[in-house]
Amino acid sequence: IADKYIEVTKNDNSEETKMNLVHYLINILKLLHPVMPFITEEIYQNLPVKNKKKFLKKCLMIEKWPQPYETQRNKPKIKRNV
């Protein structure tokens, strides 16, 4: 899905698209940080984001862990009859 989204948005220069891509990239970096701390921190520090102080913390290590969306967390569980 991510590959198709990136391909579709290549020619879209809207701010909303850019913010979506940055949001997903930051969450991927947060998830990878425990395994690859140095490279993820370097990428995080060099993100091309306007108003870095507003959107990014001082370092990736102190960012909050990504949370699932509420709609996904509150879905009723399907009971299977086995």
Query: Whole-model pTM?
Result: 0.69
Sign of the CA dihedral running 31, 34, 47, 55 = positive
Which of 1-5, 22-26, 62-66 is predicted with the least confidence, judged by mean pLDDT? 1-5
Residues 18-48 pLDDT 10s: 888 888 888 899 999 999 999 999 998 888 7
Across the chain, mean pLDDT equals 78
Residue 62: what pLDDT?
A: 79
Instruction: Evaluate whether 57 touches 63 at the Cβ level (below 8 Å).
Output: yes
DSSP result, 37-78:
HHHHHHHHHT---SSHHHHS-SSGGGSPPP---HHHHTPPPP
